[in-house]
Amino acid sequence: MTFPLDLTPPVFLAPMAGITDLPYRTLVAQFGAGLVVSEMIASGEWITSRPGTREKAELGLGVEGTSVQIAGREAAPMVEAAKMIAAQGARIIDINMGCPAKKVTQGASGSALMKTPDHALRLIEAVVAAVDIPVTLKTRLGWDDDMLNAPQIAQRAEAAGIKMITIHGRTRCQFYKGSADWAAIRGVVDVVDIPVVANGDIVDATTARQALAQSGAQGVMIGRGIQGRPWLLAQIAHELYGTAAPTIPQGDGFTDMVLGHYDAILGFYGTKLGLRTARKHLGWYMDHVGTPSAERRAVLTARSPEETMIVLRAALDPSMWGAAA
């Protein structure tokens, strides 16, 4: 059983809207990752908006170890988007059947497709037939506890040519509440011959081991656990698979990494949008070092990149906490 394009180690970065953009995926990949997945793109919007240079760059087209995730509810736009993305250098295309967001499911996309498996399979078949690169699938256990149909969908997806499937161990109706049921993923593993990747509540090597043991999956995908810890995939891969240990930045090294990420965000989005986009990442970095509320507030309310960088240095340096009091 091999992963598409022999992706190793099998510790992957999940697509997360507004989080796993190109600057963050690049930072994660610098530490080491078997695969990073772009933010989900809506196929219909993609083909009608005539994406510009930044939007195309956002996908990381042609970057080794990068998958581009598409979503949709109609075959024609999904096929056209897949063809465009493949022609521009994508290495892997992933089909989203797992997003639980209401704005997605109300449009009959994402995890809503689990309610209409025949239609979902027509979309899968159309995309697979349209491109010559591997196509993978990301989904959930089912729509709700009365519709746990991931194994049946996975079997049919494999027959349609899907090369790998990632299962988030919750139903759509759970959203992100409760705990991911890794053991339930085994129902998918038992009925397919393609690699299965476990996703949901995996935040360190211990939970990764537990997810693999309970699910029988061949790999793990990390989502929210990596917020503020871009080295996490490499750290888990080292502990599980013996890959090179990442150098986890500390002190000034951590500050330099954060400032470098901040600069990359501003360079990618521009100053106005970059200031807003960066705040969530800066918040997670401050969570990591335990920044007090006053210093944290100064960073998140700064009005310019110059002001942000000044107060951010202080916010990440424990010796400076309370210095202005």
Q: Which residues are catalytic?
A: 99
230 is in an annotated binding site: no
Q: How far apart are CA 166 and CA 177, in angstroms?
A: 19
223 is in an annotated binding site: yes
15 is in an annotated binding site: yes
157 is in an annotated binding site: no
Residue whose C-alpha is closest to residue 175's, from 231, 239, 104, 228: 104
Burial per residue of 103-138, b for 16 or more beta-carbon CB atoms within 10 angstroms, e otherwise: ebbeeebbbbbbbebeebbebbbbbbebbebbbbbb
288 is in an annotated binding site: no
221 is in an annotated binding site: no
Q: Which residues contact 67 (CB under 8 A, 6 or more apart)?
A: 35, 36, 37, 38, 90, 91, 92, 93, 94, 136
184 is in an annotated binding site: no
16 is in an annotated binding site: yes
Binding site for FMN, residues?
15-17, 69, 138, 168, 223-224
Binding site, residues?
15-17, 69, 138, 168, 223-224
